[in-house]
Structure 1
Amino acid sequence: MENIITLAHGSGGSATLALIDNVFKKYFKNDILSAGDDSAKLDIGNSRNIVFTTDSFVVTPIFFKGGNIGKLAVCGTVNDLATSGATPLYLSCGFIIEEGFSFEELEKIVESMAVTAEECGVKIVTGDTKVVQKGAVDKIFINTSGIGILPEGVDISGRNAKTGDKIIVSGTIGDHGSCILLERENMGFQAEIKSDCAPLAGMVQDMLRVTRQLHVLRDPTRGGVATTLNEIAAQSNVTVQIYEEKLPVKREVQGVCELLGMDPLYMANEGKLLIFVPGDKAGDVLEVLKKNDYGKDAAIIGEVINESEAKVVLKALSGGTRIIKLLAGDQLPRIC
């Protein structure tokens, strides 16, 4: 590791994993943390089905097409609970606000958090507020933590991918990253790209009503689909193969990526799920996803082909294959 923290350490890619492994896990090591999932399954007294998660949000700009930092904070935390199969119940929120920030913008952010929480069926029950000198923080940062309840018989983890699993993505990829990029850099593109920021707990419950055999759920946020698939491949020690022709990418997103030399596979998403499910259940899961407003563009994009080597392979339109690696640097910092 380098001797200083860089923006790459917040990318969700290889630098982030090195930071987690070499610093945080070194000192915080325990069985729950070592599981490596987006939320922690807790054993408290007689309760073994409590799920807990936390996340912080520093996105810039704080308002963007399709959402704002407040909506993003609620969706991000609810989605991390949902990827364990849990029903989200309660959230906390902490605000770090820069001196001089407007009450009007703060109220818009808080109102959107309330509206999104109501849609998710969760209550914001506790929080904290700090104000710092001008320049000590960029406008506003938000931390949210969440608690949910896991139904009996549900075991969803990045460690559970198995040979023969089909891999489904719940919709088009790269929308959030492309939206933030265009709004931040003011490049003059005419493309109308909105963030996909959305709460996905209802979609997960729909899938669980079809089958409890969901092996892995993960929302591919920082580092995109490519980085998240690599994390799952490493957790389960499996080889994942995806097909370029099957990847759902909006024409506008593809165009932006081609012009700027970026890859939609590494662009952040804030309203999508990657789902690993046994092959014989994939059709049923896909059908129920397409009935949900947030899953209408869902597609089967690949499969787990063996359990001997942790890697991700892309079968290209040309017929060749290439290894999809972890994001090494940072395509776009402060994406969430």
Structure 2
Amino acid sequence: MSDPAAKSEQRIRARSGKVRGETVTLAHGSGGKAMRDLIDDVFVGSFANPALAPLEDQARFPLSELARAGETLAFTTDSYVVDPLFFPGGDIGALAVNGTVNDLAVSGARPLYLSAAVILEEGYPVSDLRRVAASMQAAAAAAGVAIVTGDTKVVHRGAADKLFINTSGVGVVPAGVHIAAERAQPGDKVLVNGFVGDHGVAILAARDDLALDVPIESDSQPLHGLIAALLQACPDVHCLRDATRGGIATVCNEFAEAADVCVNLDEPAIPVREAVRGVSEILGLDPLYFANEGKLVAVVPAAKADAALAAMRAHPAGADAAVIGEISAKPAATVIMHTAFGGERIVDMLVGEQLPRIC
């Protein structure tokens, strides 16, 4: 049998074990048969692909394939501890895949491969673990990436909170793409690809300690397709970040500090759903700082702003995109909000976490 895909399928069938019991035990992290059965049943069965099938301690792929895709390697890692694990619009599995895909994509990279490491608390339901693994694979398939290697650890009951996931990702940046926070220049326009704060409010509403009933779902989604469309319309994108923890306020502050410029935001232009505004007012929070899992902030040359906006709006992930501000030289390293009432206020970095365990 010379076909690599057929060989991989044969290896998977040969190894396929079955988890016994309804909850994770310490034996599932012991390195023995119980652990092998868990990995084969839940993870290999869900993520099956030729790079994963050998189940070596690493995934291997020819450098020639990477070189054909681009000239610069992009590599990132992130950990996910969101509470609750399942929430309106997503779960920790899809979040872990989309988040790492987006961390690669905002460099202009085409995401290719992911790793997935899970830390399980003793007693975690195997059925929920299957659900998370299936969600991860569905998100990976939608993003066109493969989960090619991973790790599983089990800790004593009470030593972790159900399930934590770490994902790392590899992608390739095409020639001629140079996106960096320090490239923001006076005159540039600031864009966002849609409504901000949805993920933060969805998590708040899903938590049992807050009696919130709002029809908001997480915006968790992969953004590499949107970014590819943006780069086609505006090859010289100066800055690009996904606005996760700390929201668009934090991203804008990172741009301002890195480039030593002023980011001027236009409050009426920033897309915020009325439900998100309502929750923010009730809790005394600012939607600019709410986490997002499917929103990016882009800084582009003014001459290309209209083309960039049109390209974003033509993509499903950017249908509600808007120009929300512009860059000026002074005051340097500052973000200023021009309010709906005609005033101004400084938008600073958060001192602490507005909402913990958000991703």
TM-score (normalizing by structure 1) = 0.85
Q: Secondary structure at the match of 2:278?
A: helix
How far apart, in 2, do the equivalents of 1:331 and 1:307 lie? Answer: 28
Deviations, residues 126-182 of structure 1 (Å, cap 9, x unaligned): 000001100111000000000000000000011111111100000100000111111
Q: How many residues align?
A: 293
How far apart, in 1, do the equivalents of 2:258 and 2:133 lie? Answer: 36
Q: Secondary structure at the match of 2:123?
A: coil
Identity of aligned residues (%): 50
Output aligned runs, 1:38-117, within 5 Å. 48-117=71-140
How far apart, in 2, do the equivalents of 1:281 and 1:178 lie? Answer: 33
How far apart, in 2, do the equivalents of 1:200 and 1:295 lie? Answer: 9
Tell me the residue number matched to 2:264: 241
Deviations, residues 282-315 of structure 1 (Å, cap 9, x unaligned): 1111111111111111100000011661010000
Determine if contact 2:110/2:224 at 8 Å carries over to the other structure. yes
Deviation at 1:93, TM superposition (A): 0.5
How far apart, in 2, do the equivalents of 1:242 and 1:137 lie? Answer: 40
Q: Secondary structure at the match of 1:212?
A: coil
Tell me the residue number matched to 1:177: 200
Output aligned runs, 1:184-195, within 5 Å. 184-195=207-218
Deviates more, 1:262-271 or 1:304-313: 304-313
Tell me the residue number matched to 1:289: 312
Tell me the residue number matched to 2:341: 318
Determine if contact 1:162/1:307 at 8 Å carries over to the other structure. no
How far apart, in 2, do the equivalents of 1:321 and 1:295 lie? Answer: 28
Q: Which amino acid aligns with 1:194?
A: E
How far apart, in 1, do the equivalents of 2:258 and 2:352 lie? Answer: 21
How far apart, in 1, do the equivalents of 2:291 and 2:208 lie? Answer: 16
How far apart, in 1, do the equivalents of 2:330 and 2:78 lie? Answer: 31
Matched, 1:303 2:326: yes
Q: Which amino acid aligns with 2:233?
A: V
Output aligned runs, 1:214-225, within 5 Å. 214-225=237-248
Deviates more, 1:122-131 or 1:47-56: 47-56
Higher RCO (C-alpha 8 Å, min separation 6): 1
How far apart, in 2, do the equivalents of 1:164 and 1:306 lie? Answer: 9
How far apart, in 1, do the equivalents of 2:140 and 2:353 lie? Answer: 30
Deviation at 1:188, TM superposition (A): 2.9
How far apart, in 1, do the equivalents of 2:322 and 2:331 lie? Answer: 26
How far apart, in 2, do the equivalents of 1:316 and 1:177 lie? Answer: 22
Tell me the residue number matched to 1:29: none
Q: Secondary structure at the match of 2:218?
A: coil
Q: Secondary structure at the match of 1:172?
A: coil
Tell me the residue number matched to 1:228: 251
Deviates more, 1:203-212 or 1:242-251: 203-212
Deviation at 1:187, TM superposition (A): 2.9
Give the gaps of 5 or more residues in structure 1.
1-43
Deviation at 1:211, TM superposition (A): 2.0
Q: Which amino acid aligns with 1:145?
A: S
Give the gaps of 5 or more residues in structure 2.
1-62
In the alignment, which of 208, 231, 246 is matched to residue 208 of structure 1?
231
Determine if contact 1:57/1:143 at 8 Å carries over to the other structure. yes
Tell me the residue number matched to 2:289: 266
How far apart, in 2, do the equivalents of 1:209 and 1:243 lie? Answer: 26
Highest Rg: 1 or 2? 2
Q: Secondary structure at the match of 2:115?
A: strand
Deviation at 1:185, TM superposition (A): 4.2
Determine if contact 2:204/2:212 at 8 Å carries over to the other structure. no
How far apart, in 2, do the equivalents of 1:90 and 1:189 lie? Answer: 38
Determine if contact 1:79/1:199 at 8 Å carries over to the other structure. yes
Deviations, residues 3-53 of structure 1 (Å, cap 9, x unaligned): xxxxxxxxxxxxxxxxxxxxxxxxxxxxxxxxxxxxxxxxx9996510000
How far apart, in 2, do the equivalents of 1:191 and 1:142 lie? Answer: 28
TM-score (normalizing by structure 2) = 0.80
Q: Secondary structure at the match of 2:149?
A: strand
How far apart, in 2, do the equivalents of 1:308 and 1:224 lie? Answer: 22
Determine if contact 1:54/1:144 at 8 Å carries over to the other structure. yes
Tell me the residue number matched to 1:40: none
